Structure 1
Amino acid sequence: MGPPKAVRTISQEAFDEMVKENMDDLGMDPTEALQDAIQTLTLQGVDLSGIVTCVPGVDSVKDNPVIQCLDRLKQLDSNSKDRTHEKDNEEMVELFDKLIELCCVEESGNAAIAVRNGGVELVCSLCSKIQIGYERLLVLALKAMASLLHDVQSTEIFRKSGGPKIVVGILTDGSQCANILNSGFSVVAAAATGNEILKESFMDLKIDELIIQIMRGQSKGVHSLYDAIQVLLTPDDNRVVASQVYGYARRFAKIGIAGALVDSLHEGLTSPSLVSASIALKAVAVNDEICKSIAENGGIDAILRCIDDSGEQGNGTVARACCSLLSKLAGSDTNKSAIVEKGGMDRLIKLSARFSDDPSVLQEVMSIICVLSLRSPDNAARAVEAGAGDLAIQAMQKFPAAQQMQRNACFMIRNLVVRNPENRTLLLSNGIEKIIRKAKVNHESNKAAATDALRDLGLDDYNS
């Protein structure tokens, strides 16, 4: 792990003193003094997140509602070693509600203020003392925790405060309560996002085994469980050269996550967790063996059925998630054959017709057909027979500004024609050359993909 990038910071006291000097020494009025301090420090590259920007002597840091919430929670935390006083608990419910409301206001800086003023340590302390029986209070405490974890600084404080062990303990003890599980796994997802060390901490605590146990028991309504799986298996910490998530995915697969997640897909569009489960399953599918095991557990059948249903119901979110997952599974040659044999090409073209006005769905369909046709002349022929060539032509003409869709179309065309001369003739006779050249000019990022498509169409001047 590389060293974190140095960031200039300032204490609350130093900030307040600077504003005071602007008023006392330079004769600025309070508002001008405050704005000058903020502007000067910002220009100097000082990180002001977590600073309560108020005028000393006019306003008080203590008047900030986030600080007031934390101060009262600290008093209640120090009053008792456990959370059994009903009166205190009711007050804490109100305080956590207020803290969550404040920290969830976008661009307010309230979460950063809470973190800088000991919020993460405090909520960790409180969570460790609240008994499972006090469900409402515990759920709100966990929600407050998740609202505070928004960057590496806050997640590192969480780690050093024993957060992973506290949360896994709560999830274990509260495994029969969907509300506790939902709020607890939200903390896992928030904490592990962008933090490789915390992913490792949770895996060391065998959270994979706990997740499987919960999924085999009762996971209905626990949407955040799927988010936690996805985050734990995503290499998103840019401080790390080589992430360990590939190994974590294999650990998950070894204890049966493929079957458990496929079971969630079998519920179809009636399941509110369908999209999250699809994204989680895609994160698990890191190698050919796991991709095949997903298929063996009925994954391809479930996904194709969800794709059909999403088209009938016009649900683009489900269509995109399921197509993206199917594209990942199609990386296995065994799965390619299974998808095509189950009518995959025709079902995908049918889906594209249902979403002919949505380039975000069309680009996912093209991505799958591209993978299915890779090194497979038979599949390329079937794709064109199903209408993949017409899809490319119509979509590229209809959405010239859709950069990623145009790029995916070029990739798909390459695989449709590179081993199939008859497909080249068909597409060229339908005017594909002019369309690709337009995409090449319109999008600099598509230049290489368009050039390769023109070359594989057999054109001599593909570089021009």
Structure 2
Amino acid sequence: MASKRVTQETFDAAVRENIQEFDMGPEEAVKEAVEQFESQGVDLSNIVKMAPKVSADGPQEATHDILQALDDLQKSVTHSRPQEVSAHLARFLEQCKLHKAYRFLAAQKGAYPVLLATWQLASAGDQDLLLQSLNALSALTDGQPDLLDTQGLQLLVTTLARNTNAAELTCSGIRCVRHACLKHEHNRQSLVKAGVLPLLTGAIVRHSCCAEVVREACWALRVMTFDDDIRVPFGHAHDHAKMIVQENGGLKVLIQAAKAFPDNPSVLSELCSTLSRLAVRNEFCQEVVDLGGLSVLVALLANCSDHQDLVKQVLSALRAIAGNDDVKDAIVRAGGTEPIVAAMTRHLTSPQVCEQSCAALCVLALRKPENSRVIVECGGALAALQAMKAHPQEAGVQALSSASTVHSPNPASSCLISCPLLFLHLSLLSIPFQGIWRRS
């Protein structure tokens, strides 16, 4: 794995040398430079792999388009020319969207303070410029959450609070929140303390007809429950999930939103995925059932079986809420086992769906002999075996398929079984068989 790095200036110098000293064309010069550095084990993931362009000011002014756009933007902001700022922001945004290397280079050259100044200029009342500023900042912070400082975090929350009725601004602001919090525990905690959670749940309620806002808000809520920052010993993921549910009615908000988008699989996938991230306590799982969430999930699994990603997220949500023993029984009584098995059978080629299906069956059968019997009767054991055969190299599928077949009051040995199909039926049917298999 490459571990060495070079600066953009070093890479550009190598490209210029190839052009000037070896008479190569720009594309050939870049290709040769890439091969040269990669052969030395250099990581070029954050390098703009294009020949810098020569401006009209002279050959010594060779630069990249994104840096030229940034320079023009800074000049227009300094002279407070809103129309020019808008045009340069559009150019800068397009460059940021090309690749993360462009964003990385712009950040190195001071793009964040310039965008912050643009943002503050637009906050005076220019809604269009404010939207452009948020879009540009969102693009720049994608993969670079460290850029957003305390001033930016406060301005972000203030902007969201002042523009709650503007769907586009809300969507862009929430996207900034998501980018700022991904793999950044400090930003998560700071934004939560600043009051971002009610703004996120409120956006789902207020813009319940806007699919894009609901999607972004769900994604941002999920990020708040992540524990993905390796720089901190532990995060506040569980605490944030509790705050979303207990203080902001997160479960009710999500379930009501799901009812508003019956024909939008992408939005429903986001809602179900977020629901599974919030079911972190026994009482939260029961609350999902009490709010009618279980009926919604079972109906989605039965009626939207063609949409693979939605099926996967519904299974994940069922798996999460089944952590409550009473909810296990409620899922079985609601007829949830049949659509789970049907989903695994229908999407047998998808390791993700198979894994989630087996995981859901595994949780339903845990400490529940009667549920195990129901799973066997609806073909769950055979479906799990077929999943194992279809994905022999997928460790998750193998482990969960096996686990979904061995929950019994009298568990057998964990050693390899020579007759797996018989073992599946015996274990799921909860037949005592300590004398059949030797314990390890």
* TM-score > 0.5, shorter chain as reference: yes
Q: 1:19·1:56 contact (CA, 8 Å) conserved in 2?
A: no
Q: Which amino acid aligns with 2:149?
A: R
Report how far residue 23 of structure 1 moved. 9.8
Is 1:346 aligned to 2:335, yes or no? no
Matched residue, 1:277: 271
Report how far residue 40 of structure 1 moved. 5.5
Q: Name the SS for the 1:270 alignment partner.
A: coil
Matched residue, 2:205: 216
Distance 1:21 1:357, change over 3 A: closer
1:192-203 map, 5 Å:
192-203=181-192
Q: Which amino acid aligns with 1:155?
A: P
Q: Name the SS for the 2:228 alignment partner.
A: coil
Distance 1:403 1:37, change over 3 A: closer
Q: Please, which of 240, 243, 248 is the counterpart of residue 248 of structure 1?
A: 240
Distance 1:52 1:129, change over 3 A: farther
Output the CA distance in 2 between the equivalents of 1:395 and 1:16.
51
Report how far residue 61 of structure 1 moved. 5.8
Report how far residue 176 of structure 1 moved. 0.3
Report how far residue 125 of structure 1 moved. 2.0
Q: Name the SS for the 1:104 alignment partner.
A: helix
Is 1:66 aligned to 2:73, yes or no? no
Q: 2:254·2:275 contact (CA, 8 Å) conserved in 1?
A: yes
Q: 2:254·2:271 contact (CA, 8 Å) conserved in 1?
A: yes
Structure 1 stretch 221-230 or stretch 142-151: which is displaced more?
Answer: 142-151
The number of residue pairs the alignment matches comes to 414
User: 1:262-308 CA deviation, whole Å, 9 max, x = no partner?
Assistant: 11222354244211111222222222122222222221111111111
Report how far residue 67 of structure 1 moved. 0.9
Distance 1:458 1:375, change over 3 A: farther
For normalisation by structure 1, the TM-score amounts to 0.78
Output the CA distance in 2 between the equivalents of 1:61 and 1:284.
53
Q: Please, which of 254, 261, 264 is the counterpart of residue 254 of structure 2?
A: 261
For normalisation by structure 2, the TM-score amounts to 0.82
Matched residue, 1:206: 195
1:35-54 map, 5 Å:
39=36, 43=40, 49=46, 54=51
Is 1:114 aligned to 2:103, yes or no? no
Output the CA distance in 2 between the equivalents of 1:328 and 1:267.
23
Structure 1 stretch 296-305 or stretch 190-199: which is displaced more?
Answer: 296-305
User: 1:369-399 CA deviation, whole Å, 9 max, x = no partner?
Assistant: 1000011111111111111112123333344
Matched residue, 1:286: 280
Structure 1 stretch 260-269 or stretch 333-342: which is displaced more?
Answer: 260-269
User: 1:309-345 CA deviation, whole Å, 9 max, x = no partner?
Assistant: 212xx11111001111110111111211111111111
Q: Name the SS for the 1:273 alignment partner.
A: helix
Q: Which amino acid aligns with 1:98?
A: R
Q: Which amino acid aligns with 1:66?
A: I
Output the CA distance in 2 between the equivalents of 1:242 and 1:367.
26
Matched residue, 1:307: 301
Q: 1:279·1:325 contact (CA, 8 Å) conserved in 2?
A: yes
**Structure 2: runs of 5 or more not aligned:** 413-417, 425-432
1:47-446 map, 5 Å:
49=46, 54=51, 62-80=62-80, 88-89=82-83, 91-106=84-99, 109-131=101-123, 134-151=126-143, 154-159=144-149, 162-221=151-210, 222=213, 223-255=215-247, 256-271=249-264, 272-311=266-305, 314-415=306-407, 417=408, 419=410, 428=419, 430=421
Output the CA distance in 2 between the equivalents of 1:123 and 1:364.
42
Q: 2:311·2:353 contact (CA, 8 Å) conserved in 1?
A: yes
Distance 1:347 1:420, change over 3 A: farther
Q: 1:158·1:191 contact (CA, 8 Å) conserved in 2?
A: yes
Q: Which amino acid aligns with 2:178?
A: A
Q: Name the SS for the 2:233 alignment partner.
A: coil
Report how far residue 66 of structure 1 moved. 0.2
Output the CA distance in 1 between the equivalents of 2:42 and 2:111.
25
**Structure 1: runs of 5 or more not aligned:** 1-6, 422-426, 434-454
